[in-house]
Structure 1
Amino acid sequence: MATSKDELFAEFFQVQESIDVVVETISSAQLPSDLESLERDIPPLFRLANEANTLEQSALRPLRLLGETASELAQYLSLQSRKIDLILSHILMQENADHPSERAHSYGGSGFTLWRESAFEYGQRLRCKLFLEHEAAAIYCYAEVIDASASDQGFMHQVLFTLIREQDRELLVRASLHAQTRQLKKRHQQQH
């Protein structure tokens, strides 16, 4: 089992895709003590968005197994669901209009990387909101800065999730795999 923070960060694949994130520095005292406290801390709109995403995944799966006619129905329902997802995604972004968002450079099930002009301190605790546009979902979690490397453009931070719901981690893993599929299709189209 991985023990160092670097090993924990490397446990999950990181996809090079930019997503909106809102990060707020917090003290260790502001960190929820367990998953139950995290659940109480998550804004209702974040719970709603992720519940809708989970329901869609579980509802469409059985339809795809029924054959050609069900496949067309599943496609139609997916399009209807996508409309709702787009509206929900827009509402989620408005929820954080008072907090400036930044762009994560990459993300995965263990954390994300973030370019900033100024450096966070090693070990800085963060309250994070990640917005997955293609999945029409948002993740609310807590994390820790485990690395900050300087360059001409600023500082690249590695941010490790320290308190995240398992279903949200699974959503991030699924989103990173979908992003990789989009990138591979785009690369294939460019080559042909």
Structure 2
Amino acid sequence: MSNEKSELFAEFFQIQESVNVVVESIESALVPTDADALERDIPPLFRLANEVNTLEQSALRPLRLLGETANELAHYLSLQSRKIDLILSHILMQESTDQPNERCQSYGGSGFTLRREQPMEVGQYVRCKLFLEQEAAAIYCYGEVIEVDTQDDGCLHKILFATIREQDQELLVRASLHAQTRQLKKRHEQQREN
């Protein structure tokens, strides 16, 4: 793996949490070269789901500043939005049933790790769909295999995002921080029980 790509992968925190992914090998010529080309390539349902998620974040923020009553309203609206997110997430998962669904080992703002029995080639480009169940969101992007580590139980691939929307990268960063918070709370609860 080139030093530069390794540094890019390490720029963002990786959370050890498994999420559903669909990874399809493609030719490098099929990777969009700019944000507009990526935007045209993203299936409408993925755009809709992420737009709903983004709108929720921006709409609830001002309500939280209005005081106690507004907090209750914000909580109620957040629950309603969560229901819509869950429905969209389920529909997105159904759209990818024709492709093998796998689970990544970790993810973050720069990429993810994926274990497979057979190795992919370093330098192989892939079309990626990541399904973040806890965030009820889905990411559509492109990546490049930058490292393959052969182990007893298969091959661990590091996949660096080659083309991803900025708002999707921010969503992955937020999701990894939320996952870390969940893991820390769970660990704290387990320590209290012991």
- What TM-score do the two structures reach when normalised by structure 1? 0.97
Match of 1:134 in 2: 134
Aligned to 1:91: 91
Q: Measure the CA separation in 1 of the matches of 2:86 and 2:178.
A: 17
Moved over 2 A (4+): none
Report the AA paired with residue 190 of structure 2.
Q
SS in 1 for 2:17: coil
Compute the displacement of 1:100 (Å). Answer: 1.1
AA partner of residue 58 (structure 2): S
Map of 1:31 onto structure 2: 31
Q: Residue 57 of structure 2 aligns with which residue?
A: 57
Partner of 2:40: 40
Deviation of 1:31 (Å):
1.4
Mapping of residues 36-185 of structure 1, within 5 Å: 36-185=36-185
SS at match of 1:173: helix
* Residue correspondences, number: 190
Identical pairs, percent: 75
Q: Which amino acid aligns with 1:105?
A: Q
Which whole-Å CA distance do the structure 1 matches of 2:46 and 2:118 have between them?
Answer: 28
Query: Structure 1, unaligned stretches of length 5 or more?
Result: none
Q: CA shift at 1:44, angstroms?
A: 0.3
Q: Which letter maps to 1:101?
A: N
Amino acid at match of 1:23: V
Shift in Å, 1:33: 2.2
Paired letter, 1:166: E
Task: Return the alpha-carbon distance in structure 2 between the equivalents of residues 15 and 114 of structure 1.
Answer: 13
Single out whichever of 26-35 and 59-68 deviates more from structure 2: 26-35
- CA shift, 1:82, in A, is 1.0
| Aligned residue in 2 for 1:21 | 21
Provide the C-alpha distance between the structure 2 equivalents of 1:141 and 1:48, rounded to a whole number of angstroms. Answer: 15
Aligned-residue CA RMSD (Å):
0.8
Over residues 98-118 of structure 1, what are the superposed CA-to-partner deviations in whole Å (9 max), with x where a residue is unaligned?
Answer: 111110000000000001000
Structure 1 counterpart of 2:9: 9
Give 5+ residue unaligned stretches, structure 2: none
Rounded to whole Å, the distance in 2 between the matches of 1:29 and 1:7 is: 24
Q: How far apart, CA to CA, are the structure 2 residues paired with 1:60 and 1:31?
A: 35
